[in-house]
Amino acid sequence: MLVDLHVHTSVSSPCSQIEPRLLIRAAAEMGLDALCVTEHEELEGAEVARRLGDEEGFPVFRGVEVYTDMGDMLVFGACRARYPVTTPFVELLEEVRSGGGVIIPCHPCRGSLGFHHALGEERAEFLLSNVDAIEVRNGGSTPESNLAAEAYANRYGLPGVGGSDAHFIMQIGRCLTVFEREIGSEEELVEEIRAGRCRAAYAAEVERLRTSTLWR
């Protein structure tokens, strides 16, 4: 199952120009099986996209991209309606753990040399021992940054996931997550990520997406 785990829409992310209904139709046309809408700091855009996905017969799962004092985190399965501009990571961790969700650092090596360089040894080790996966394929990051993130995932035995980080329609699906099993709910999405039954990929690496012109 092919899922873009990291997409922004114009509903709640002012930096995005993607209208939700066009997002869903483009994703289906290019061969994706589902999307995760992950607006900055709030859930409204994901709610809108989920309802439209139901109308279109295309699965849309809800998430949020939360800015914390330890970097940007994707949260699935335990999302507030709205977050402050900066959320302490320890506060987010407690909330997500109690709600049964997952936390995933997104584009962690973009613009830095990695977790330890950005956070220091002690804080980096704390973070990496308390997240559920790492985004190792991000459509807005360089291949070098993605490889650095992948090295962290391998070193700490964490699943690697992918998402386009799309803000424009042509960016959808340029990076994605390949799940081993079909996913029909947000609870199943969380379960499959936590179990590591997934891998990150670029669109060009997935046979059924190679002929699509939407992500080029």
The predicted structure's pLDDT at residue 151: 97
Averaged over 188-206, what is the pLDDT? Answer: 97
pLDDT band at 215 (very low <50, low <70, confident <90, very high): very low
142 is written with which tokens?
């360089």
Q: HSE (CB half, 13 Å, CA atoms) of 176? A: 25
Nearest by Cα to 66 from 58, 50, 49, 78: 78
184 is written with which tokens?
């029909």
Digit-coded pLDDT (tens) for 79-121: 999 999 999 999 999 999 999 999 999 999 998 788 999 999 9
DSSP summary character for residue 100:
T
**Phi, psi dihedrals of residue 91, rounded to the nearest 5°:** -70, -45
76 is written with which tokens?
């699935």
In this structure, of 63-72, 74-83, 109-118, the range with the lowest mean pLDDT score is: 109-118
Averaged over 35-48, what is the pLDDT? Answer: 96
Nearest by Cα to 75 from 198, 216, 190, 161: 190
102-105/134-138 β-pairing: unpaired
Digit-coded pLDDT (tens) for 154-178: 999 999 999 999 999 999 999 999 9
Averaged over 174-191, what is the pLDDT? Answer: 97
In this structure, of 6-20, 55-69, 70-84, the range with the lowest mean pLDDT score is: 6-20
The predicted structure's pLDDT at residue 213: 54
The predicted structure's pLDDT at residue 212: 61
Q: Tell me what percent of the residues of the chain surpass a pLDDT of 70.
A: 97
pTM, two decimals, is 0.94
CB atoms closer than 10 angstroms to residue 71: 19
In this structure, of 2-6, 8-12, 101-105, the range with the lowest mean pLDDT score is: 8-12
Residue 100 CA, distance from chain mean position: 17
The predicted structure's pLDDT at residue 113: 80
Distance separating alpha carbons of residues 75 and 10, to the nearest angstrom: 19
Distance separating alpha carbons of residues 182 and 40, to the nearest angstrom: 27
Distance separating alpha carbons of residues 115 and 119, to the nearest angstrom: 6
**Phi, psi dihedrals of residue 94, rounded to the nearest 5°:** -60, -45
Structural domains of the chain in order of their starting residue, each with its CATH number: 2-209 (3.20.20.140)
Nearest by Cα to 166 from 15, 11, 12: 15
